[in-house]
Amino acid sequence: MASTAMSTDFVSIVAEEMASGIDRALRYWLGRIELEVVDRSLTTAERISAVEQIIEEYKALTDRMPARRISA
C-alpha cells in the first residue's frame, strides 16, 4: 500500500513538472508571437512574416512536420 502511494506521488510530481515545462514553452513561443503582432513599427505584411519566421524556427527546433493551415 505504501508503495502504491509513493508511486502515485511520483507520477503526480512528474506530471506537474511536465505541465510546468509545457506552460513555460507555450508562454515563450506565444510571447514572441505577441511581441511581433503588437509591434506598430511593422506593416501588416511584416508582422505576418515575423510570425511565420517564429513558427518556422519552432518547427526547425522541434523537427516537426510542416503545420497544416486551417481555413477560418
pLDDT in tens, 5-24: 778 899 999 999 999 999 99
- Return left, alpha or beta for 25; rule: phi > 0 is left, psi -120 to 50 is alpha, else beta: alpha
* Predicted confidence (pLDDT) per residue in 25-70, tens digit: 999 999 999 999 999 999 999 999 999 999 999 999 988 666 566 6
Residue 71 has pLDDT above 80, yes or no: no
For the whole model, what pTM was predicted?
0.69
